[in-house]
A and B are shown apart, each in its own frame.
Chain A
Amino acid sequence: MLKRLVTATVMTVATAVPALAQQITGAGDTGPVTLHYVSCCKATYFGPAIEAWSAAHPDIKIEQEVIPFAQLNDVIEARMRSKDDSFDMLIVDPPRTASQAARGFLTDLGPILGADLEKTTNPESLKAVTYGDKLYAVPVFNSTQILIYNPELLEKAGVAPPSIDPDKRITWQALTAEAKEIKEKLSLDYGIAFSQGHTFYQLQPIVMSAGGSIGLEGPNMLTPNVNGAAWKTAMAWYGGLYADGLAPRGVPFTQMDSIFLAGQTPFLATTSDRVRELQKQGKTFGVAAFPMWEGGTPYTPCDSFAIGVNPYSKHQAQAVEFLKWLATTEEGGLAAAAESPNVPANLLVMNKVSQAMQSASPNLDGLTELIEHEVSTTCVHRPASVGYIQFETEFLQANMDIINGTDAAARLDQAQSQLQTTLSRIR
């Protein structure tokens, strides 16, 4: 099985992806070109970078096509299977790199961009889009999570704010107790909210901090391990937050920010880019380090969107030119971060963006150091497995069921056997 897998992988990668250095398409073209970019989620993620690029490079225009995240996987799946050459670049969600690269959906960019990227890009971000020693995308954004609190509510309830110092981070157990106390004292609707609480992205560091496995293991990363004792403890604790009414059940996760803004919860676990959003709303808030499990190791989630090159594109050289600008120049890095203050993967601008957020509010000392520390020290990537998409789909369903009140231990056992059979079909 394993042998077959390895042969198949090597064969596909060898046949589907031409050695880019020699065969890059569009090299030597001088006429004006329009690059098509299949993007995701919001036009503003990449809009400012595309505008800045287009202003300086009239010969290489870029048009982006924005697809909702929920449909991104299906759309890319369908378009790549039909060997669609109508677009040149595609957005890459780093944990899906292995699955997409193994099937020839992405171009190996190592030979042509590898050396440049190593100088300016966060090595952790590069690792997340590397599969089998090949670099399949250019990391644009990175991310990390923080704990945001409402200082007024904390003060009213007489609770000291949690620390922003990563070495003094609060534990989930202590935080839950405080959240409960504040909720009861001030008769608030909730005690804590998770802005991506349905995703593996936000849950993985909690489970791993409790001692749980990464989820997919084994020499080929296709052996699920989601029903160990630590997984069950952590997920039961998480489901319990919703069962006790401490976290908002039945409210879409897209609305967690609004719940915090409305003063309905004192704590919000969320990504660091929300700092800028809250500043825009003129809200007073404090930032603390992402909590850890009592007696466990601290972990934080990381990685965010990267851009890959379509192996069937006719303008690979021009796409590479744009990506190089984005990832290796300060100008490109700042343009990418203009509307989307996720942690930049571009090291030339990473701390500048953090500092800009830090200095925009009076009480955010330590934010820059916190972000820098988390993305280099506690960052945990999602499993780099060709079966990640299947894994994520199953986790999402199991997690939603646990949030809605299903027994965590039983549901995780079910997920484990589900994943075992599903992943056994990958060959």
Chain B
Amino acid sequence: MTRFARLSRQIVFTLLGFLAALAFMLPVIWMFTSSLRPNAEIFAHFHPLSWHSIWPREWTLANISGLMGTGFGRSLLNSLIVTAITTVVGISMALLAGFALSVLTFPGQNLLFGFFVIGFSVPFDAVAVPLSATVRDLGLTNSYFGLSLAGLGNGFAIYLLRQFFAGIPKSLAEAARLDGASWLRVLWSVYLPISKGPVIAAGLTLFVFQWQAYLWPLLISTRPDMQVGPVALASLVSLAGTVDFSQMFAGALVLSIVPAGLMLWLQRYFVNSVARSGMTG
């Protein structure tokens, strides 16, 4: 291929890549700019389409600061707490199981691995209704622990870590064991330090799933002060009819910025882990 042909190919692909990104980002950009303009302006510029439908005449942070004064700030805090619990507990669980299933040898481990991946791959929502009755009977409604249950078991996280650990030469573990290290010690000081990528990838998956949870919080948190962000956003919409768009967009923006920011920052770990997991052949 000539240099010129190669260059023009690159230009075309770059252009296509840019257009694809733009198409997917348009709703996000619209949400972003709408949350930073006065309410009256949002409604006025829905229709007809003009440059100002998407670009504010007047920029303001009032929507976001106004929102934080309402119960929404509390809901956001709840979301952060619940998601932190899920991510930490969920990743610990997945680490222990993934490590045991790949480094140790014990009867039933393959069966167990199958149960984990199949069982946890059945979406949590499928059992949310019967589980909510049990959780209520246990008095766990309106508790952070109860809320965090939705995302705890994640088949993808266990699979990812198990596959990664299986790819680490056993000689490392064997050497440490011969030096008298306990299994937990081996996991902590031999495996964990070289597993940054898959741990981050598994953690991101847990985070994003729990942050999105909607049905479960709807079922088990009945008090406004224990509401999580996505549910608070939905009730903001039905509460206001459709009148206060500025609050709605501001809420949408705040709820998106946390996971999207994390993903922008850490996405290469996710992409690399998927590539190395053997999941795609």
Contacts and interface: CB of A to CB of B under 8 A. Distances in A.
A86 to B, nearest CB: 8
B242 A254 contact: yes
A86 B139 CA distance: 12
A333 B152 CA distance: 51
Contacts of B133: 81
Given A82-B136, A82-B141, A71 B238 contact: yes
Nearest to A253: B241
Interface string A229-256: 0000000000000000000000011110
Nearest to B236: A68
Contacts of A71: 235, 238
B222 A254 contact: no
A79 B221 CA distance: 9
Interface in B116-169: 132-133, 136-137, 141
Contacts of B137: 82
Given A70-B238, A71-B235, A84 B222 contact: yes
A68 B243 contact: no
Nearest to A70: B238
A14 interface: no
B136 A254 contact: no
Contacts of A116: none
Report the interface size class on chain B: 10 to 19
B196 interface: no
B178 to A, nearest CB: 55
A75 interface: yes
Given A68-B235, A70-B238, A81-B136, A75 B222 contact: yes
Contacts, number: 38
Most A-side CB within 10 Å, residue of B141, B218, B239? B239
B47 interface: no
Contacts of B223: 65, 86
Interface string A270-297: 0000000000000000000000000000
Nearest to B220: A78
Interface string B178-222: 000000000000000000000000000000000000000011101
Nearest to A65: B224
A67 interface: yes
A252 B136 contact: no
Contacts of A254: 240-243
A78 B135 CA distance: 12
A67 B243 contact: no
Contacts of A255: 241-243
B238 A68 contact: yes
B224 A67 contact: yes
B222 A79 contact: yes
A228 to B, nearest CB: 33
A4 to B, nearest CB: 24
Contacts of B218: 74
Interface in B218-251: 218-220, 222-224, 235, 238-243
Interface residues of A, number: 18
Nearest to B219: A78
A78 B231 CA distance: 16
A105 B207 CA distance: 38
Contacts of A70: 235, 238
Contacts of B224: 65-67
A281 B239 CA distance: 22
A254 B241 CA distance: 6
B46 to A, nearest CB: 13
A84 B222 CA distance: 10
Nearest to B135: A82
Most A-side CB within 10 Å, residue of B222, B223, B224, B240? B222
Contacts of A82: 136-137, 141
Most B-side CB within 10 Å, residue of A67, A75, A78, A86? A78
Contacts of A65: 223-224
Nearest to A75: B222
A78 B240 CA distance: 23
Most B-side CB within 10 Å, residue of A67, A68, A70? A68
Interface string A59-70: 000000111101
Given A82-B136, A82-B141, A252 B235 contact: no
A84 B132 CA distance: 14
Given A68-B235, A81-B136, A82-B141, A252 B222 contact: no
A255 B242 CA distance: 8
A68 B136 contact: no
Contacts of B136: 78, 81-82
A253 B240 CA distance: 11
B222 A78 contact: yes
B142 to A, nearest CB: 8
B245 to A, nearest CB: 12
A93 B166 CA distance: 60
Contacts of B141: 78, 82, 84
A276 to B, nearest CB: 19
A68 B238 CA distance: 7
A68 B222 contact: no
A131 B240 CA distance: 33
A255 B235 CA distance: 17
Contacts of B242: 252, 254-255
A79 B139 CA distance: 11
A189 to B, nearest CB: 14
A252 B220 CA distance: 29
8 tightest A-B CB contacts, nearest first: A254-B241, A82-B136, A70-B238, A68-B239, A79-B222, A252-B242, A68-B235, A252-B241
Given A82-B136, A82-B137, A252-B241, 11 more contacts: A65-B224, A67-B224, A70-B235, A74-B218, A75-B222, A78-B220, A82-B141, A84-B141, A84-B222, A86-B223, A254-B242
Interface of B: 132-133, 136-137, 141, 218-220, 222-224, 235, 238-243
25 contacts: A65-B224, A66-B224, A68-B235, A68-B238, A70-B235, A70-B238, A74-B218, A75-B222, A78-B136, A78-B141, A78-B219, A78-B220, A78-B222, A79-B222, A81-B133, A81-B136, A82-B136, A82-B137, A86-B223, A252-B241, A253-B241, A254-B240, A254-B241, A255-B241, A255-B242
